[in-house]
Amino acid sequence: MRVVHIAESAIGLTGGMARVAWYWKQAFEKRGHEFIHIGTGEVGEIGHIRHFPKTALRHYQKMARKTDVILVHEPSAGVFVKRGYKTIVVSHGLERRSWEIQNRVNHPDSPRPAFKSRLIFPLWRLRGCDAGLRHATGALLINRDDAAFAKKHYGLNGENVFVFKNGVDLMSAWQTPSPENAGNILFIGMWMTRKGIHTLARAAEVLHQRGVKLQWVLAGTVFPAGEVLKTWPKSLHAGTEVIPQFSGQEESDLYRRCNLFVLPSFFEGQPLALLQAMAYGRCCITTNICGQKDIIKSGHNGLLFEPGDATTLAALIEKAAGNLPLQTELGANAQRTVKDRDWNSAADEVVDFVERINLVKTRE
């Protein structure tokens, strides 16, 4: 097959979507298929991300090469299905479902979008997502909630939907939680409301008032320390390390020096940071939503709480902090959970699905 992959990102080993696409490329090429990526680097300067779909379409058409199947990231799918191309929509978290959650929850830690956004966003972003998913040949979705939503909302045939796995870099040996790191907590994610940063800040303040001794590491925030600490309790600034960006080697060090990992998001696809924390055998505390609840069974391989519930989050952190036996038990089970999720195996499953879809549609 000749497979064209279209997404508003680069392809490589840094970043979530970029890393997933990189491993998919290796897997397709290993099977003898051709894999062509069209991203922001290929189409050139576009000014605003809303221009990417049509720009990518023009770039694809200029290639003038027969393609067996197009794997296209959800927001760009509409312009391709409208022209009758064989399209498999790829989603790292369904945009329509995320949007409905944002507008329905209206929690103080995750307020509804502004009035202007509620008017404009559905037009420039969601319209293409909806069209693409309604008329796609198939769909690669990232968690069971997204799959259920897509079947109900878009009428997708279940046989043409595949819930793909994100992979992990498996550890060669069990990363035993160390006593000196029992109160070290790691958060990895862009410092934004959807990631539950305000819930995390409120829980951290509660724990400080209770006298729970913790060291916080806020990594991958993108924003510099000064911006991050504006929404972080002043009483905790001295015991908090902010790391806006980090390399692959630095990532390994982050997981090794923190026994606890926390991700209080309101919406996710299937977070790579959580999966990697599990691979390192960390004690993971995260929200009971999306891809998290697909892989975490609370009390067995991690701890779950409801989004925005800072009181419960604080209680779970207090329960786990300093409790080395609990950290060890949950961490060991977490590592066992992801032991078959190496990147190559995860990518091979995607190739299997695309080969099947292409064969079926060709026969039809």
Q: Helix or strand or coil: residue 346? A: helix
Q: Domain-by-domain residue ranges, the chain?
A: 2-167+342-363, 179-337
Task: Report pLDDT digits (tens) over 236-245.
Answer: 999 999 999 9
- Percentage of residues in the chain with pLDDT exceeding 90? 87
pLDDT computed for residue 63 by the predictor = 92
Burial class (CB in 10 A: 0-12, 13-18, 19+), 155: exposed
Q: Is the pLDDT higher at 99 or at 176?
A: 99
> What residue has token string 């080395």?
324
pLDDT at 360 over 80: no
On whether the 2-167+342-363 domain is CATH 3.30.70.250, my answer is: no
Handedness of CA 282, 287, 290, 294 (dihedral sign): positive
pLDDT digits (tens, 9 = 90+) for 76-125: 999 999 999 999 999 999 999 999 999 988 788 988 899 999 999 999 99
Take residue 170 and report the two structure tokens written for it: 């498996």
From its phi and psi, is residue 14 left (phi > 0), alpha (psi between -120 and 50) or beta?
beta
pLDDT tens-digit readout, 131-172: 999 999 999 999 999 999 999 999 999 999 999 999 999 876
For residue 234, what are the contacts with CB-CB under 8 A and spacing of at least 6? none
The CATH number of the structural domain formed by 179-337 is: 3.40.50.2000
The SS3 call for residue 322 is coil
Say yes or no to pLDDT of 41 above 80: yes
Whole-angstrom distance, CA of residue 312 vs CA of residue 305 = 7
Give strand pairing partners of 5.
Answer: 37, 71
Pair of tokens at residue 89 = 């929509």
